[in-house]
Chains A and B, each alone.
Chain A
Amino acid sequence: MTATARHVGPLLEVKGLRTQFFTQDGVVKAVDDVTFEIGHGQTLGVVGESGCGKSITSLSVMRLIDRPGKIVAGEILLNGDNLLAMKEDAMRDVRGDQVSMIFQEPMTSLNPVYTCGDQIAEAVQQHTAVSRREAWDRAVEMLRIVGIPDAKRRATEHPHQLSGGMRQRVMIAMALSTDPDLLIADEPTTALDVTIQAQILEVMRDLREKNRMAIMLITHDLGVVAEMADEVVVMYAGKVVERADVRTVFGSPHHPYTKGLLLSIPRLDERVERLEVIKGTVPSPLNLPSGCLFKRRCPYRMRVCDTAPPYQEVQPGHFSRCWLTPAGEPPDVGADAEGPEAEQAADALTVAPR
């Protein structure tokens, strides 16, 4: 918290992050020039389909990328300190202390041979100089805060004795036991039933307000994003294709992929005979198309899309990686532009995202 007071500006800044996997079949650009920021107490939703790089982005922030993966470029600033330049020792203190993470499948992230209380107490002792007894009390207290009934008894139980929703609460309790500034939640409710999901989201909302904690929420569920996020980043094939505040993304999306996603989900509150469809499938990361990565599936495809599209600021604070003008028209350089002419136009339209 002292760091918070010193640093003015956003809590987390990710600039030009590139994470690549060097596989036998070639280089997979899992995260390719990703830039975003999260303010104190803000919730950023990162959405996209499987393989879009959203989980790798979050693991990069935690510096949990193992071989054959590698962070090859970019900066990750937490309270102004570059995490990528830190020694491993210092990074260990950041993990858990300032940034905590919860994963999709709570059973595989909890140790089956220790009690829930022990596992939380261990995390507490890692990061604060407290006695075993105090750490245990803190663990029970955390279990109570995340809404586990009969927390004292539950702390003495092993993970297999708890239901899926309970386990995810234990994960959240552990993640929050050290009072982090940033919680990275990677699909925290995907494995859970909707009524249990509602409970977990309620817990997260509650704690966010009480602790003024920022959340990076990674999910494929647009409904969860709409309910939780302040700002949204939409990723496709390793790139950010759209970024804006939550109302803009849902109310007036610019990128054809975002539009397609929003139209393709069945809604409870309306009935349509047919769903809109994004044709085709996500391209293989080893065989990405040239130019715009979405062009093969895009209903607005133009000749100019064979050149990498600009990252435009279509409205103040609303970014989109697409050739269409803010009004949705073909670009000034012409729908059929190609070669250096198109590249120059893309450079001119691209803004340095803040």
Chain B
Amino acid sequence: MTEQRATAAPTDSGTGRPKGDTAAGGVTSGGQTSAQRTAARGGSGQGPLLEVNDLVKHFDIRGGLLGISKLGAVRAVDGVSFTVNEGETLGLVGESGCGKTTLGKVVLRLLPPTSGQVSFEGKSLFDLKARELKAARRDIQVVFQDPYASLNPRMSVGEIVGEGLYVHGMSNKRERESAVRDLLKRVGLNQQHIHRYPHEFSGGQRQRIGIARALALRPKFIVCDEPVSALDVSIQSQVLNLLSDLQDEFQLTYLFIAHNLAVVKHLSTRVGVMYLGKIVELSDADELYRSPAHPYTKALLSAIPVPDPTIRRERIVLKGDLPSPANPPSGCRFHTRCPMAQEICKTEEPPLRDVGGGHLSACHFAEEVTPLEVRRPVAGPA
């Protein structure tokens, strides 16, 4: 398993092969590179804040009479490498079971890794001692998916948001309360609601509480795991805007995990696509949409319904279901469902390689993947 490091240095176009016939050169026409956009967003763009190196997380399947003999392993994350630069948002998309949430949890050190490295600001997260880990946790925070399950129903909003402050040494109650009030105001909640309990809030408001909690310790880096997928459409956009405002205000770096590619693309500088525990493509967000270099990405793009009835797109319907991550297919993991699969795909696992301008793809035939065809047969409404 020789994964290439997914350090998508945007200026490194020297070694990149031209991808396809259209986008020669890789750093594509008109599109900003991620560094430019990071700079435009006010981030300092100082290179990697987080480095993930060949990370593996397997969950053992145990059984037998005593339930202790190992029968196999679910390979949830299986050799993933990438970097997140300071001030950017790295999006991770994939379908259920692709390992994106597990990856987030390992990065947060909520789960121990099977092997591999994660370093934050140059220091390995897995080697930290308890005291150092506590300090690192100030800098790394998380927003969870389900705002109904991730807030303790027996704690008031003030206690939920202020808990981190207390744990990290702000013992003065009055000081803490005023800090919490500031945070509530910042995320768009009424400061008077500090003594209320989670059940008194709607889903969107609860997610704001979760965001306030994540912000309390002024972190540098926030893992957002499906932060809007449980919310209604009109509330979703409010929370997305809030996340992007807070990023500007506090110079935050996000790892944004979601299954909705449109949401991920909206917020992300770069996007990584995961399939069965591996990153199959990683590139600048707009580039990924304009010229996907992996057939799975293309199929994902084609499967997302576009809210415009005048558009007719090339329709790629993948056959079958996601194979079990306990027993992934040989060679390229996508070959069982891939419309482009050849003999080589069954035997040889394609490495994640640069196909031009920092656009990474793990496909033997990345150069032959064409952009998704989109047609507008009728202009305007009937």
Contact = CB atoms under 8 A, between A and B. Distances in A.
Interface of A: 49-50, 149, 163, 165-166, 193-199, 201-202, 220-227, 229, 245-248, 250-252, 260-262, 264-269, 271-272, 274-279, 281-282
Interface of B: 95-96, 202, 204-205, 232-238, 240-241, 244, 259, 261-263, 265-266, 286, 289, 299-311, 315, 317-318, 320-322, 374, 378, 380-382
Contacts of A229: 309
B321 A224 contact: no
Contacts of B306: 223, 226-227, 267-269
B237 A265 contact: yes
Contacts of A227: 305-306, 309
A275 B266 contact: yes
B305 A226 contact: yes
A333 B205 CA distance: 38
Given A194-B304, A252-B381, A220 B240 contact: no
A277 B238 contact: yes
Given A269-B311, A282-B234, 8 more contacts: A195-B95, A196-B95, A198-B315, A223-B306, A227-B309, A251-B309, A265-B237, A271-B286
Contacts of B244: 274
Contacts, number: 137
Contact of A223 (B232, B259, B304): B304
Contacts of A277: 234, 237-238, 241
B233 A266 contact: no
B309 A246 contact: yes
Contact of A268 (B95, B205, B304): B304
A245 B378 CA distance: 15
Contacts of A268: 261-262, 265, 289, 301, 304, 306
Given A265-B237, A266-B262, A275-B240, A198 B318 contact: yes
27 contacts: A49-B234, A163-B321, A193-B96, A194-B259, A194-B261, A195-B300, A197-B305, A198-B303, A198-B317, A198-B318, A199-B318, A202-B315, A221-B305, A222-B233, A227-B306, A246-B309, A250-B309, A260-B234, A262-B307, A266-B263, A266-B265, A271-B286, A275-B237, A276-B237, A277-B238, A277-B241, A279-B238
B309 A247 contact: yes
Contacts of B241: 274-275, 277
Nearest to A279: B238
Contacts of B205: 281
A277 B240 CA distance: 10
Given A193-B95, A268-B261, A275-B237, A166 B304 contact: no
A248 B308 CA distance: 10
Contact of B234 (A194, A223, A224, A278): A278
B91 to A, nearest CB: 12
B300 A250 contact: no
Residue of B95, B202, B309, B321 contacting most chain A CB atoms (<10 Å): B309
Contact of A245 (B233, B234, B304, B382): B382
The CB with the most chain A CB atoms within 10 A, among B95, B289, B381, is that of: B381
Contacts of A272: 266
Contact of A50 (B232, B310, B382): B232
B382 A223 contact: no
Contact of B233 (A49, A197, A250, A252): A49
A169 to B, nearest CB: 11
Contacts of A198: 302-303, 315, 317-318
A307 to B, nearest CB: 24
Closest 10 CB pairs of A and B: A251-B381, A223-B305, A266-B266, A264-B237, A198-B303, A193-B95, A222-B307, A278-B234, A275-B237, A49-B232
A264 B240 CA distance: 10
Contacts of A265: 233, 236-237, 262, 307
Contact of B307 (A165, A202, A226, A278): A226
Given A247-B381, A275-B240, A197 B303 contact: yes
A197 B300 CA distance: 11
Nearest to B244: A274
A226 B235 CA distance: 21
Nearest to B307: A222
A202 B299 CA distance: 14
A164 to B, nearest CB: 8
A195 B318 contact: yes
Contact of B321 (A165, A221, A275): A165
Contacts of A197: 303, 305
A218 B373 CA distance: 28
Contacts of A278: 234, 237-238
A299 to B, nearest CB: 13
Counting chain A CB atoms within 10 Å of each CB, the highest count among B234, B235, B303 belongs to B234
Q: Which of B289, B307, B308 has the most CB of A within 10 A?
A: B307
A200 B303 CA distance: 11
A261 B374 contact: no
A108 B344 CA distance: 42
Nearest to A203: B317
Contacts of A49: 232-234
Nearest to A50: B232
Contact of A248 (B261, B301, B307, B382): B382
